[in-house]
Amino acid sequence: MANKRDYYEVLGVDKKATEEEIKKAYRKKAKECHPDLHPGDKQAEERFKELNEANEVLSDPDKRARYDQFGFNDPTQGGNPFGGAGFDFSGMGDIFDTFFGGMGGMGSRRTSNAPVAGNDLRYELKITFEEAADGCEKSFDFYRLENCETCHGSGAKPGSQPSTCPTCNGQGQVRTSNGFMSMVRTCSNCNGTGKIIKDKCPDCGGSGRVRKKRTATIKIPAGIAHGQTIIQNGQGEPGRNGGPNGDLYVTISVRPHKLFKRDGYNLFIDFPISFTQAALGAEVDVPTLHGSVKYRIPEGTQNDTEFRIRGQGVQILRTSGKGDLIVRVHVEIPKKLTEKQKELLRQFDDTLTGHEYEGKKNFFDKLKEAFN
């Protein structure tokens, strides 16, 4: 760490280099000092490591920004900010595949016995609107690959053992040479496992894994929203060679409600009232998620007016507070009236002085001003 070279210097680029320039510089240098071109050359190997470390940082906008700010002493990263000696070659497969036409990738350079984390699994769980609002406990079945119990994951028939692959000597990889360049390929005899199974386990067919149905039970907190994910640690597929299990990601899908809409923790409802209720005012029963509440609509209520009923919304996640219920009033005008009803309305109209309809009055006042 003491005399580490500046990452920009390692790549031979300017501090203002674009992502594209960094990529280009990296590719060029990586070709020059790739260890496969310099077998046994310790210096080339060191340069290659240095180069990859520099690229790992400078090709990642976040890491690059931190490096620009803190150099090798990023306070948020402990003593060894950017990997340093512990640099990991994994994840570089694609780059080298594009260089060398699929040489198997540096990622597979790791030995076939290294611990590998199990795959994460995803599950979409549908719940009702009320279950999301109130919280619930749900059980569901899902499938995952597990180590075969019959052969304990070895893939070999009980009583037999997998043998070391003779083609790759258990390395999982073979090195071939096409004259000027040597390449590493995944061993085709053992598919990279380094082992050959002569007597296959009858239960898993030699794969060491079987598909099992499992039941998960999860607690869904009140107030969860559509699209949120609950992570069940360690419930994914088992790791290999002692690696950790993957996780199970349960994404919540909330079914829509027939009456209510939800925005954050507030609930919305469109509530129809008659035009006489709007004009005279009325006490109405407004539905909530739990029964109904009485609400007094004031006289002279206009169409689309929103009333807020506090605390009748959805419980706010991990608190005891609740959102509000917003009631949007829809004033309904009758479409069919009898002759008698029409006559009553005409009589009503005759009593008007012109000041009862504020909006109408303002409109005609403005109209007059505009054209005089």
Binding site for Zn ion (CB under 5 A): 148, 150-151, 165, 167-168, 187, 189-190, 201, 203-204
Which region holds residue 136: left if phi is over 0, alpha if psi is between -120 and 50, else beta? beta
The least CB distance from residue 115 to Zn ion, in Å, is 20
Nearest approach, Cβ of 2 to Zn ion (angstroms)? 41
Question: Across the chain, where does the E strand assignment appear?
Answer: 121-127, 136-147, 163-164, 173-177, 182-186, 195-196, 209-220, 229-232, 248-254, 260-263, 266-274, 282-287, 292-297, 306-309, 325-332
Residue nearer to Zn ion on the CB measure, 83 or 107: 107
Closest contact distance (angstroms) between CB of 164 and Zn ion is 8
Q: Are 293 and 312 in contact (CB under 8 A)?
A: yes
What is the nearest approach in angstroms of Zn ion to the Cβ of residue 120? 23
Residue listed under structure tokens 């090195």: 175
Which of 121/151 has CB closer to Zn ion? 151
- Number of other residues whose CB lies within 10 A of the CB of residue 170: 19
Least separation in angstroms between CB 170 and Zn ion: 7
Nearer to Zn ion, 35 or 206 (CB): 206
Class of residue 176 by CB neighbours under 10 A (exposed 0-12, middle 13-18, buried 19+): exposed
Name residue 292's beta-bridge partners.
287
